[in-house]
Amino acid sequence: MGYGSNGGEEERRRMVERPPPPLLRSSSLYRYNSPLVQVCLIGLVCFCCPGMFNALSGMGGGGQVDHEAANNANTALYTTFAVFGVLGGGIYNLLGPRLTLVSGCSTYVLYAASFLYYNHYHHQLFAIVAGAVLGVGAGLLWAGQGAIMTSYPPADRKGTYISLFWCIFNMGGVIGGLIPFVLNYNRAEAASVNDGTYIAFMCFMALGALLSLAVLPPSKVVRDDGTRATNVTYSDVSAESIEILRLFANWKMLLMVPAAWASNFFYSYQFNNVNGLLFNLRTKGLNNVFYWGAQMAGSMGIGYFLDYSFRSRRKRGLAGIALVAAVSTGIWAGGLANQLRYRDGKWADELDFKNSGSRFAGPFVLYFSYGLLDAIFQSLCYWVIGALADDSQTLSRYSGFYKGVQSAGAAVAWQVDTHKTPLLTQLIINWVLTTVSYPLLIVLVVLAVKDEDATTQDTESKLPPTDATNNASAKEIESSGKCT
């Protein structure tokens, strides 16, 4: 994002509103500066970086038989992620998407390289340091991703665009699951993945860093009706710092805390103690293909529902919460039934997709369902965040806050697993955390989500200053240049 350049007075105001030049309406969805192309681009970036990271983590222990190194690395990762997830929104507003994204993406390569090193020397320090560095980069990447995904699309199609992003992003997990499946196909016994697996992950991650340079800033993204994604830029570090601090007193963000905390908390249980514990090496990779494939299906379904189920956006949100809550309850109940089969955390005979017959089916369907739940739960959270504002500056902070709290929960979760907390206890905690989130999301939708025909003036009269929309739309609403 650029800095103010119209004299000292505007520098003191710390924010510049640049009226857009005359725009040409276009019906083409495939323009380089269209929201569709830009959301697809950020999806491809996440396909290569966090998508491959997810595939690596999904194998349990980062592909290692001993999970301790990966657990400690992930604890370091999510600890720094918690800090830079919150700060990431402000950094994005100052640096713009390209610098923010390329800085974040470059750290993923280092993380994969640390496990390649661990394969040979079994020293945890490199993996732990790489995890901490990745936490910084991931905070930047996901704050930028959240701002792009929630502010570039038209207001009435955010669910569709979120599901599109989620499909492209999770295709990375599908491809990433195929890599260890193919490269380790003939190694059915318990073993760590081979060097080629880590090298393949590193190549994809490096490609993601290069692709991030193609993402346009919001001021250059033009929707089909001729409006730009946003016309306001922030020009001062202190202004961003103040706005970030205000998030911790923002009642809307406080209502999001339980959902954000829960949304990555279940990964350590699902990856290490379901996929990592019940299945042999090659089957873990195959399972991840279907886990992330389930995410694609789940995001498409919930995205369509949240955009098209009812005329009223508020009704769509409430119905979406009810649907996700019902599916979540059924899946966790199935998880409980499976967990009661190995209360002591020991599974005598690892399952193989070719040789275990019907014994393989139940745990496989459960792990597939966990992927479905992750997608619909997080897509719902992003949809709610996207319904709270329209401009990328506000939404980058909201998304950063969400990712920061999410990462703090994940850091705790990886240590919960490291300290050998009983698996039944871990499952119950995950179930309770997701269940508590739903009534709070209902309150948030009822109080804060406006239907599309609500006027911006009405929104500004009822919301705190930090939530006023700055989007100069076809309605030609003036924002008056005040910090929001």
- Cα-flanking dihedrals φ and ψ of residue 24, to 5°? -100, 125
Q: How far is it, in rounded angstroms, from Cα 31 to Cα 228?
A: 14
Q: Residue 16 — very low, low, confident or very high, per pLDDT cuts 50/70/90?
A: very low
pLDDT digits (tens, 9 = 90+) for 342-368: 988 888 788 988 888 889 999 999 999
CATH of residue 304 = 1.20.1250.20
482 versus 130: the higher-pLDDT residue is 130
pLDDT averaged over every residue in the chain: 81
Tell me 275's DSSP state.
I
- 484 domain residue, yes or no: no
- 99 domain residue, yes or no: yes
126 versus 150: the higher-pLDDT residue is 126
Q: For residue 334, is pLDDT > 90? A: yes
470 in Cβ contact with 393 (< 8 Å): yes
- 17 domain residue, yes or no: no
Q: How far is it, in rounded angstroms, from Cα 445 to Cα 324?
A: 14
In the chain, how many domains are there? 1
Q: How far is it, in rounded angstroms, from Cα 296 to Cα 172?
A: 11
- 286 domain residue, yes or no: yes
144 in Cβ contact with 38 (< 8 Å): no
- 69 domain residue, yes or no: yes
Residue type, 197: T
E strand or H helix that includes residue 319: helix 313-339
Output the furthest CA–CA distance in the chain (Å, rounded).
Answer: 74
CA 141-19-99 angle, to 5 degrees, is 20
- 12 domain residue, yes or no: no
- 9 domain residue, yes or no: no
pLDDT digits (tens, 9 = 90+) for 76-120: 998 898 889 888 888 888 888 889 999 999 999 999 999 888 888
407 in Cβ contact with 82 (< 8 Å): yes
Side-chain half-sphere CA neighbours of 317 within 13 A:
28
85 versus 336: the higher-pLDDT residue is 336
Grouping H, G, I as helix, E, B as strand and the rest as coil, residue 279 is strand
- Cα-flanking dihedrals φ and ψ of residue 218, to 5°? -60, -30
pLDDT digits (tens, 9 = 90+) for 23-39: 445 556 678 888 889 99
Q: What's the domain range around 80?
A: 34-217+235-467
- 226 domain residue, yes or no: no
